[in-house]
Amino acid sequence: MYILDTDHLTALQRGGAHAQRLLPRLDEVPPEEIAVTIVSVEEQLRGWLEEIHRARNPQAMIAPYTRLHDLILFFSAWPVVPFDEAARDELVRLQKMRLRSIGPYDMRIAAICLANDATLLSSNLVDFSRIADLTVEDWLE
């Protein structure tokens, strides 16, 4: 299984040169082998939910609600891998390693990948390569 990190998802959402490099590679993989984590969904939903919350009038709500709707449709294209007991166990193990420069969301994504024996597709090779047994590849370059 290949799991798209948030940076690869953002590239697909924005289009452009990075997406043009990523799409042909994804087309070579059976669709059921490509997934996203619930953590990446959370990260992106959180931003648009905050925008909706900050909207001061109904007109200002239209754009963030539209983006939230688009985001839900976007994520419906892939299976969403949960943060379950196996991922929790991996996260606890990773936290004991004291990898301080790796952020909490990245640690959760790594834990989900390890628990599911998945390859993470991410541009953050510097941080993720510090995690033993995690397979990470950058398909944007």
Q: How far is CA 51 from the centre of its chain?
A: 20
Q: How many domains does the chain have?
A: 1
Q: Is residue 56 part of a domain?
A: no
Give the C-alpha separation, 93 to 90, whole Å.
5
pLDDT at residue 141 above 90?
A: no
The DSSP letter of residue 93 is H
Q: Is residue 113 part of a domain?
A: yes
Q: Is residue 53 part of a domain?
A: no
Residue bearing the bigger pLDDT, 101 or 1: 1
Q: Is residue 71 part of a domain?
A: no
pTM over 0.85: yes
| CATH number of domain containing 126 | 3.40.50.1010
Q: Is residue 24 part of a domain?
A: yes
**Interval 27-49: pLDDT, tens:** 999 999 999 999 999 999 998 89
Q: Is residue 89 part of a domain?
A: yes
Q: Is residue 126 part of a domain?
A: yes
| Residues of the domain holding 19 | 2-39+78-137
Q: Provide the H-helix boundaries in 1-37.
A: 6-14, 16-27
Q: Is residue 16 part of a domain?
A: yes
Q: Which amino acid is at 121?
A: L
